[in-house]
Chains A and B, each alone.
Chain A
Amino acid sequence: MVQRHRVSVVINGERYEREVEPRLLLSDFLRHELGLSGTHVGCEQGACGACTILLDGEPVRSCLLLTVQAHEHELLTVEGLAPDPSQLHPLQESFREAHALQCGFCTPGFLMTLLPFLEENPDASEQEIRRALSGNLCRCTGYQHIVDAVKLATQR
């Protein structure tokens, strides 16, 4: 008999309550249980950063958290970035303008890593930006256009 645990969690301002197996990863809970498939899963070992979300305002790997650990915490996923479906968040705008994505698989993780970074470092230097992005992999862009997008965002 598999033990199930009640989880109550606020995601993008909305409260969700579910019963889950302890082994369910938070990344899979978001995608498969709630249909919030904007959070992507690349490596499931904490190397690629595609599954980065905010836990109580701080970027974390959702593939390295159990869903039960999110009980009574607040999450923000990429679905919570844009103010409404017809508008992009300024950071997303910058990514579009600077061509900071090609296939787009890594983009949600980059955006969620950058959101608190830019709030704390509104005048970040290129070196600080590159350091902040060290935990996110992108196989398309060679990173240059992502760095350009972040610089663009710092000017807004």
Chain B
Amino acid sequence: MKPAPFDYVAPASLEEALAALGEHGVDAKLLAGGQSLIPVMNFRLAQPAVIIDLNRVPGLDRIEVTPDRRLRIGALCRHSAVERDSRVAETAPLLHEAVPLIAHPQIRNRGTVGGSLAHADPAAELPAVAVAARARLKLQSAADERWVPAQEFFTGLFATALEPDEILVEIEVPASAPATGWCFQEIARRHGDYAQVGVAAMVSLGTDGACREARLVYLSVGDGPIEARQAAALLAGEVLSEEALEAAVAHAGNEEIEPTDDIHASAEFKRHLARVLSRRALRKAAERARAVVGRS
């Protein structure tokens, strides 16, 4: 199908974009990469009165690393640019591992980091990565700007903390804690399809070699990124033995996620996938954390 008619504005600066958004409010939709928005407009599931195209706003596609090794990614950065950037690989290895799993190459050439986060699809990789990495997001309005932690940004199914007059302009990923390993795992029927289940894991080790902090954040098993805090708490202070991992994995897969049946898989099968992927992700993250310790 074809989109319903709309008015189109292509602001040449962030100020113009914010002014247009202030004027049209909830009648307007921001167009970034368009890889989710245009399909729902083609289906006429969305019929915005006004499209504000951000693609001609300069300065939103920068990638930089601050002196204290925080990675800052402009909201309009394409997934493919993030995928190729060596600074991302060095400072945010979890993100670097997840980005090639986002859809297909043609989609990654257009889709943007900010678009994916603001869309908040529960099956998307980046929201889970942002929560696991404790990223924060910069929301800009004409009057103000604020930084929101990723854990507070995602508020429900396709819902975020963004106010109608705000634009997500940047995300910031903090430097990993010392002795930290990471792993991103997902299962999709074909490479590039939506994941049936995915998980982002981080493991930090203490000087005694025991787990100081672990994080497990899932996609496709709830209304948004789902963090298994109780399972992670079970790991804190533990030497990461197979028994300890098993207890955490079972708790996360059985108690902390809410998968639903769909045409591809039953909820029970998704719980099974979650347990398998969590086990792999935690093992790999722990192994990488030990390797970091070994090098320093």
Contact = CB atoms under 8 A, between A and B. Distances in A.
Interface of chain A, helix or strand or loop or mixed? mixed
Contacts, number: 88
Contacts of B104: 49, 134-135
Given A3-B8, A21-B5, A23-B3, A49 B106 contact: yes
Contacts of A44: 1-2, 39, 42
What is the interface residue range for chain A against chain B? 20 to 34
Nearest to B51: A22
Contact of B107 (A21, A28, A66, A135): A135
Interface hub of B3, B31, B53, B55 (most chain A Cβ within 10 A): B3
A94 to B, nearest CB: 20
B156 interface: no
B105 A113 contact: yes
Nearest to B4: A23
B192 interface: yes
Contacts of A131: 191
Interface SS of chain B: loop
Given A63-B42, A134-B191, A68 B53 contact: yes
Interface stretch (A52-60, A80-88, A146-154): A52-60
Interface of A: 2-3, 5, 21-23, 25, 28, 44-46, 49, 52, 55, 58-61, 63-66, 68-69, 113, 117, 130-132, 134-135
Interface of B: 1-8, 10, 31, 34-35, 38-39, 42-43, 51, 53, 55, 80, 103-107, 109-110, 190-192
